[in-house]
Structure 1
Amino acid sequence: MPLRTAIVKGLAASVGSFLLFGVVTGLLPNPLYIRMVPRTLFDYTFLVLTSLFAGIYIAQQSIAGRAGDGRLAIGSTIVGFLAFSCPICNVFLLALFSNSMLMTYLDPYRPLLGVVSVLLFTGLLYYRYQQSCESCGSTAESGST
């Protein structure tokens, strides 16, 4: 796949996930959703990083043309989403846990979840980059001998 197409796909995924997650979590003010927990700098940081890493992953996947580690990318995105989403506004979490339990046990650890998400995405992207470099290097070496 051409590099330009991969970059466009990655950029679209990054901007799309930023807008979707931003609206759904109330970090981007909108009339559809009112956030119950105050917005913090961490929330915006992890929103931007999660969206950026998702876009890079999509672009990298388009260039490499292989799949297989999508579960880790999805898991990293979910953990990132939990890091910047409103814990008491998340219907799925409220169905599983009580409001007070979420504020007591999840809210203090949201920055840690964001760091875990960033580390998982960074590790995944680095691993995929190393794999593509090894395949390029082995092809170049075998062609030159």
Structure 2
Amino acid sequence: MKRLTEALGVLLEWPARRWAVTVGAAIAFAFTIAIPTALIPNPIFGRKIPPTWWSWPALIVSSVLGGLLVATYVRDPANDDDVANRRKGTAGGLLTFFAVGCPVCNKVVLIVLGSAGALTWFEPIQPVLQAVAIALLAWAVIARLEGERFCPLPSRVDSGNPWPDAR
């Protein structure tokens, strides 16, 4: 609980630019998942099975977490080397795609399990995939926010030396 409280404290200190990136990235995340999974009806992609009741709430939570995660990377790219948390965020987004998608519309699932297997084996684990996706995204966001709180970047006011205390 302490980790979450500290992470929320960091969020309160964010400038408007980061919040704008959060909103934009969350919207992009939502459309990137909702269009190919046909949560948003469109002429290119279709669904054979209607979405579950939890698809939209799960997509919204994942999109908000994805937007927050993207916004944590808004800073000097030279000081950004957090591959492990990037992988957790990518895995969370990918799992969200599989979790909210139509089980018999997913070509990979159909090739591996067939249509009967997709309905028998894959559809029942979709809520578990979504829970894991949300956990990975939340873990990555909290880890990135903790890094901001406990390892703040030095100020770049002194353009001559970015590490003025280094000897």
Q: TM-score range by the shorter chain?
A: 0.7 to 0.9
Bigger helix share: 1
Contact residue 76 and residue 120 of structure 1 kept, 8 A: yes
**What is the aligned partner in structure 2 of residue 80 from structure 1?**
96
Contact residue 18 and residue 47 of structure 1 kept, 8 A: yes
**What is the aligned partner in structure 1 of residue 64 from structure 2?**
52
Tell me the secondary structure at the aligned position of residue 37 of structure 1. Answer: coil
What is the CA distance between 1:115 and its match in structure 2?
Answer: 1.0
Distance 1:92 1:3 in 2: 41
Q: Tell which deviates more after alignment, 48-57 or 90-99.
A: 90-99
Tell me the secondary structure at the aligned position of residue 25 of structure 1. Answer: coil
Q: Tell which deviates more after alignment, 56-65 or 110-119.
A: 56-65
Question: Which among 109, 132, 137 is matched to residue 125 of structure 2?
Answer: 109
- Residue by residue over 1:43-82, the C-alpha shift from the partner in whole angstroms, topping out at 9 and shown as x without a partner, is 1111112211111100012148523221111111111111
- Residue by residue over 1:71-112, the C-alpha shift from the partner in whole angstroms, topping out at 9 and shown as x without a partner, is 111111111111111111012222333111111111011111
Tell me the secondary structure at the aligned position of residue 145 of structure 2. Answer: helix
Q: Tell which deviates more after alignment, 7-16 or 52-61.
A: 7-16
**1:93 corresponds to 2:105:** no
**1:25 corresponds to 2:69:** no
Amino acid at match of 2:46: I
**What is the aligned partner in structure 2 of residue 43 from structure 1?**
55
Question: Which among 24, 29, 36 is matched to residue 12 of structure 1?
Answer: 24
Report % sequence identity.
21
Runs of 4+ in 1 over 6 A off after TM superposition: none
Gaps of 5+ in 2: 1-13, 156-167
Amino acid at match of 1:96: V
**What is the aligned partner in structure 2 of residue 142 from structure 1?**
none
